[in-house]
């Protein structure tokens, strides 16, 4: 099974085991100029294979999700940067409200995996998914503690895929044609498409498998959070209509965020990063 946003953000992950294969030299304790870039390079080139089980926590929705089963076992391969990006997206919040706490163990597993390859006693790694400027929708994962206030800090930044469609040209075109409202609609459409690809969501709507139940569970969680649940439904070909309602509610939130930060449509379109997670490495002596 490939790692997609549907299998990542929609399926609730629990790390049951982790096996790390290091393909580059693990850096020594980072001290002095340039070591942040060495750590960033290691994150981008070191690979890991992670075995895990999709295991939902008890979060209130109308969907009955199985709590166990061999069909929920998975293995994901990727670079450390890619794993950090997935974990950051898995911790996505809307405002102060996490979309789910069910994958906290996945995030802790990624932290352990990164810690097996990077000595983090003088290093902090922060992965952030913020799809547009001033976004109240954000995913974040931090590995390592903050540097002491009296130490010089060196920094480097890399990016990894979030799993969401980039939509850069569509967002820029929307900004030119319809201003901030256009940007908000294009961003919301990209987020919903990434969370709930129509074809796969239709399959999940009619399936009795545990992973499909997880998809429906995640759909209900987000619709509840956005206040669209009274009219939501996935059965009988209702995925497109349900997605449209999610997009409309999400677009209103994006518009409020952009107005609150006084971000112009042009600046918002230029700064939109749906498809990328920023990974910031900080090191100190």
* Sign of the CA dihedral with 19 first, then 24, 25, and 26 last: negative
- pLDDT value of position 159: 97
- Asked whether residue 260 carries a pLDDT value surpassing 80, the answer given is yes
Domain ranges of the chain: 5-163+274-283, 168-271
Q: What is the mean predicted confidence (pLDDT) over 258-278?
A: 95
- Structural tokens at position 9: 């953000």
| DSSP class per residue in 162-174 | -SS---HHHHHHH
Share of the chain above pLDDT 90, in %: 48
- Asked whether residue 11 carries a pLDDT value surpassing 50, the answer given is no
Instruction: Report the Cα–Cα distance between both ends of the chain, in Å, rounded.
Output: 42
Say if pTM beats, i.e. exceeds, 0.85. no
Q: What is the pLDDT of residues 85-133, one digit of tens each?
A: 999 998 999 888 888 776 777 788 899 889 888 888 899 999 999 999 8
β pairing state of 123-129 and 73-79: unpaired
């Amino acid at each position: 099974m490939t790692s997609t946003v549907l299998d990542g953000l929609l399926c609730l992950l629990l790390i049951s085991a982790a096996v790390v294969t290091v393909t580059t030299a693990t850096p020594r304790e980072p001290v002095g100029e340039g070591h942040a870039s060495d750590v960033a390079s290691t994150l981008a080139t070191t690979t890991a294979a992670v075995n895990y089980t999709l295991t939902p926590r008890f979060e209130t929705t109308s969907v009955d999700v199985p709590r166990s089963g061999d069909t929920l076992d998975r293995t994901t391969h990727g670079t450390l940067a890619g794993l950090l990006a997935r974990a950051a997206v898995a911790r996505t919040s809307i405002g102060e409200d996490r979309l789910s706490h069910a994958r906290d163990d996945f995030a802790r597993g990624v932290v352990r995996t990164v810690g097996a390859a990077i000595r983090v006693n003088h290093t902090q790694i922060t992965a952030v998914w913020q799809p547009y400027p001033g976004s109240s929708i954000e995913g974040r994962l931090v590995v390592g503690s903050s540097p002491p206030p009296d130490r010089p800090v060196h920094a480097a930044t890399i990016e990894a895929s979030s799993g969401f469609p980039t939509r850069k040209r569509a967002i820029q075109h929307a900004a030119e044609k319809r201003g901030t409202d256009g940007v908000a609609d294009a961003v919301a459409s990209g987020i919903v498409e990434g969370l709930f690809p129509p074809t796969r969501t239709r399959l999940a709507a009619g399936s009795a498998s545990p992973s499909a139940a997880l998809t429906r569970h995640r759909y209900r969680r987000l619709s509840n959070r956005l206040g669209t649940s009274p009219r939501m439904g996935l059965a009988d070909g209702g995925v497109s209509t349900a997605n449209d309602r999610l997009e409309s509610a999400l677009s209103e939130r994006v518009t409020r965020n952009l107005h609150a930060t006084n971000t112009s449509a042009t600046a918002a379109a230029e700064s939109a990063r749906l498809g990328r997670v920023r990974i910031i490495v900080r090191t100190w002596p």
